[in-house]
Structure 1
């Protein structure tokens, strides 16, 4: 039971990002400060013992100086040395080069031969040698230093002393360093936990907002104002939320518009079919069938437009050099029957050598929709003309599609490229369009990284400017 509770608490606790970050930062800090403490303690301990060794080396220099300026016989030198070290607390032993004790300030080893590790190493290496031992539960230092006469050892001075004072200093320093490190570590862990919670807080806010979007609240936004990466993430999230909301609104409008657009011709077809009677005259029967044909044609055009619009995002541009005047003539051939029905004249004033780089199929689709739009909303006896401008300027060259139709009001002109923005919103006569054509035009223009604009005066006509430059 206790094990299950521990496991549950552990899993719940350590699943939090703030805890994991705090633990990670804490471990990194602890390892770093442990290495620093080790280095500090080692250097301090070494410096203390080095100072002690240096102290005894200075004493040896003094002894060597005294011997140099005393009489040449040991009988005269030793009493002089004894008076200099009689107050010295540590043991000082003066030996000849073979290890025979000439003087012991405690008077124990006089005239005895000492051959311990330190003395042996001095004789062998002609250099100082230090050793540390435990004696009666206390740490003792033994240092042997040679007194040189040119290239040979004349005397050896052996010091032995307890270093408990140094050991105590080192121990006190160690405790101080460890205590200070523990306090700093505790402070750092608390600070890192607070800071990581502050870092994680906006992430939690984003998580909650994401769940709201997952549950359908697409207009959810977060109020996170920061100038770092999290602030950038929050701004991106808000932009994404806004785009998702727009997409959802457009989807709803799309479904509503499609339903409405399909409903009208389907209702007309149903009424026409229900009105048919075997007793109707042939002319009436043919008239009804023609009306049904027109409505089914309209449905077919609408379905094709919908398919084209749905595939726009998957369209891959395959650029080639296109003579625009020839392409316009091909489009005019296709739309000439529609223009003749309304006695609208199609004019092509494009320069003969005007060429562009683009996808031929996309260019044709753009021209068909723009010219068809001008014919559809043109007036009887009117015109649709296409002219080029700035033919030699790569930065602003393009074409104008001009008509003298009914025009578009200022209220609606900014929305005509929206999907399903139909004639009943922007035109003051019977609607014959699905509102998809200009949306397709805009998408294809954007795929080419071109630009398009419109100028219009209600009751006088419209001009669509297509710029073939980024």
Structure 2
């Protein structure tokens, strides 16, 4: 619980709020303290001015201590402070405090010294005698532009610090309330933030246990929302891949089981029943056909496996595909003649280059033409053409065979899919040829589709491979 994201986020909110409130309180307390002290200084300084003017008239002649003390006492009662009046030698001539006053003594203070130099003296200090903070202000007394004494005022700052104390307590209460509020907001926001993460964690755990149907709701468009969306996409793809893998294993097992069953029956028959030489040869021929069928199936499965290592092991090169296409077609002419099928092609002398793995392009041509020969009856035709348009190199394989109904055209490139399973097995097909072609074309960045011929007889497979832009082709040639 302590190490959870929710706890860490909530603690972060609380710590941040605490730091903000402490800094704000310190700044506000300092600002208010300075404001109140400056205001008090201005108040005391203004109050000292009329005292200075009146005292100046008394100090022109021999000062009367009683009169000056009465003057100090009268103003002290008005401003609630202690007022002392000194001469230019810092000797106290009047004190608002009658009992225990300082009349006749010398008051040596920095504030008075500053006033005697024509400036206002000012200080704030803690009084050990009264156990409180006090402010002392001294202003000069002029007589005919000569400084003849000073007015020294001492006033308590207890009220100011009492107000500041009250403000500090209010700030402390506000800090506590802010921390509680921050904790509540933090818990709410942390729950809102971590709820989808917890949902993702739970769904991931369920997927780890084998439940690939897990999905999480996408409630936002932020980073977590995008993460949830990508998780759902990943789960969907994983579920689909698992489904395809299971179907692939089931289909492969089924395809392997059929020839194995036939082989088992043939071998047992040869062991258990006496056979004539002619029958034995017929059985051996059937065994040979089933073995050839298994070999083709295994080779097709290996071809699909090799495609997964295209980027790692096969070298993609810039090449003209004309020689590869022509050599493959010439190799298949013998098979076409054996079935009494006319195989012809229209291929230019050269085409613009494409990035390709040549042995895989050869497999594309071989599988498409081989399929066309298999499903075209004797006397039919298979025509292959290669041409280029501004952006694509287009390979077309057209036949006059049995054709492919429209509802099956999107599925013919799936693994082990057959339009007519009985006829496909009879023709020796494994159900993997077109899926291998589709995988190769997709890995080359191309397109493949099937359509009817213009006359409606047979099928036409069209493969489109992207041409290399002229600038990129020229750059590749220069590098070579």
Question: TM-score normalized by structure 2?
Answer: 0.84
Deviates more, 1:378-387 or 1:95-104: 95-104
Instruction: Name the structure 2 match of 1:235.
Output: 229
Instruction: Name the structure 2 match of 1:37.
Output: 25
8 Å Cα contact 1:423/1:435 also seen in 2: no
1:101 and 1:23 map into 2 onto residues whose CA distance is 62
Deviates more, 1:369-378 or 1:99-108: 99-108
2:242 maps to 1:244:
no
8 Å Cα contact 2:376/2:402 also seen in 1: yes
2:277 maps to 1:289:
no
1:448 and 1:74 map into 2 onto residues whose CA distance is 116
SS of 1:454's partner is strand
1:74 and 1:310 map into 2 onto residues whose CA distance is 122
Instruction: Name the structure 1 match of 2:60.
Output: 73
8 Å Cα contact 2:51/2:75 also seen in 1: no
2:195 maps to 1:201:
yes
SS of 1:311's partner is helix
SS of 1:468's partner is strand
Deviation digits for residues 104-139 of structure 1 (CA, Å, limit 9, x no counterpart):
233522332111454467679956331311445531
C-alpha distance 410-246 of structure 1, shift in aligned 2 (>3 A): same
1:324 and 1:436 map into 2 onto residues whose CA distance is 24
SS of 2:287's partner is helix
Deviation digits for residues 197-246 of structure 1 (CA, Å, limit 9, x no counterpart):
12222222222222221222112222343222222222222222211211
Deviation digits for residues 280-312 of structure 1 (CA, Å, limit 9, x no counterpart):
454443333333222222212211211121232
Offset of residue 366 of structure 1: 1.8
8 Å Cα contact 2:385/2:395 also seen in 1: yes
8 Å Cα contact 2:76/2:83 also seen in 1: no
C-alpha distance 237-450 of structure 1, shift in aligned 2 (>3 A): same
8 Å Cα contact 1:118/1:131 also seen in 2: no
8 Å Cα contact 1:375/1:384 also seen in 2: yes
Offset of residue 155 of structure 1: 4.2
Instruction: Name the structure 1 match of 2:368.
Output: 370
Instruction: Name the structure 2 match of 1:169.
Output: 163
Instruction: Name the structure 1 match of 2:404.
Output: 408
C-alpha distance 180-122 of structure 1, shift in aligned 2 (>3 A): same
Deviation digits for residues 141-184 of structure 1 (CA, Å, limit 9, x no counterpart):
13243439899976443221222211111111111111122112
2:290 and 2:457 map into 1 onto residues whose CA distance is 30
Instruction: Name the structure 1 match of 2:340.
Output: 343
Q: Which one of the candidate residues 76, 79, 82 is aligned to 1:91?
A: 82
8 Å Cα contact 2:322/2:348 also seen in 1: yes
1:86 and 1:119 map into 2 onto residues whose CA distance is 18
Count of residue pairs brought into register by the alignment: 455
Instruction: Name the structure 1 match of 2:134.
Output: 141
C-alpha distance 96-309 of structure 1, shift in aligned 2 (>3 A): farther
In structure 2, stretches of 5+ residues that fail to align are 468-480
Deviation digits for residues 73-125 of structure 1 (CA, Å, limit 9, x no counterpart):
16589859648625332112233454222432335223321114544676799
Instruction: Name the structure 1 match of 2:15.
Output: 27
8 Å Cα contact 1:29/1:185 also seen in 2: yes
Q: Which one of the candidate residues 380, 395, 402 is aligned to 1:399?
A: 395
SS of 1:166's partner is helix
2:384 maps to 1:386:
yes
C-alpha distance 18-440 of structure 1, shift in aligned 2 (>3 A): same
Offset of residue 259 of structure 1: 0.8
SS of 1:261's partner is helix
2:107 maps to 1:111:
no
C-alpha distance 385-189 of structure 1, shift in aligned 2 (>3 A): same
Deviation digits for residues 425-449 of structure 1 (CA, Å, limit 9, x no counterpart):
5977835222222222222222221
Instruction: Name the structure 1 match of 2:477.
Output: none
In structure 1, stretches of 5+ residues that fail to align are 1-12
Offset of residue 46 of structure 1: 2.2
8 Å Cα contact 1:122/1:129 also seen in 2: no
Deviates more, 1:138-147 or 1:28-37: 138-147
Deviates more, 1:125-134 or 1:148-157: 148-157
1:207 and 1:406 map into 2 onto residues whose CA distance is 53
SS of 1:276's partner is helix
SS of 2:134's partner is strand
1:124 and 1:392 map into 2 onto residues whose CA distance is 102
1:129 and 1:231 map into 2 onto residues whose CA distance is 64
Offset of residue 265 of structure 1: 1.5
Cα root mean square deviation, aligned: 3.2
1:154 and 1:445 map into 2 onto residues whose CA distance is 110
8 Å Cα contact 1:64/1:147 also seen in 2: yes
Instruction: Name the structure 2 match of 1:217.
Output: 211
